[in-house]
Amino acid sequence: MRTTKVISIVLFFTISNLLFSQTKSNLEIIHSLIENNVSQLLRKLPHEVSPFQFEYFSQTEYESLENRFIYHLSSKGLFTNDSSAAKVKFSLDEIAISYSEPFRNGLLGDFKIERNVKLNGTFNFGDKDKIYHSDMIESVYSDTLFYSEISEVEAQTLAITHGTKPDEPLFESLLEPVIAVGAVIVTIILLFTVRSK
């Protein structure tokens, strides 16, 4: 009896968690990719690195993300304003969001798309006299979401969260009602044919 209650409670929370899980927004994904970029940057730097200055370069539309980089560096204790410290110059080169062509989730299921978010950057590490290390960093995130969720995951006021929305396939959109009406007609015909015999 007690194990049945425990199993019921575990199933309830597991199922409710699956049903009410929310799709990550494009901005949330960009923020997690920035954290990933900072981790990659730190792995590529020499191991004896002490706190360093951070200089950020980007296109105008990416300037608002500088504080996110500084936040992750300072949370690891590696950011300083000391002008005598070594310096990392980081350039955020590209944020790309792309969606695949829509595909069906089953015969009559909703349309789904694959979402790919890519963040590319380059950096160099050195002081005023010498560059010690230079490299490229790329972070990629991919998942699948419903076609109808595209407008929900993009922030309307931030252009960097927008990708090119693919067109919904017209033929498949028309095919679903035709199949439904055809199934109803076949059911009615079979019902009266079987009844009359």
9 falls within a domain: no
Each residue of 108-155: pLDDT tens digit? 678 899 999 999 999 999 888 888 888 999 999 999 999 889 999 999
14 falls within a domain: no
Confidence of residue 85 (pLDDT cuts 50, 70, 90): confident
2 falls within a domain: no
32 falls within a domain: yes
19 falls within a domain: no
Contact 115, 82 (CB under 8 A): no
How many domains are there within the chain?
Answer: 1
Strand partners, 98: 116
Local structure of 2: helix, strand or coil = helix
Average pLDDT, the chain: 85
- In this prediction, residue 110 carries a pLDDT of 81
148 falls within a domain: yes
Contact 42, 54 (CB under 8 A): no
CATH number at residue 145: 3.30.160
71 falls within a domain: yes
- pTM, two decimals, is 0.75
Non-local CB neighbours of 16 within 8 Å, separated by 6+ positions:
none
Write out the residue range of the structural domain in which residue 123 sits: 24-184
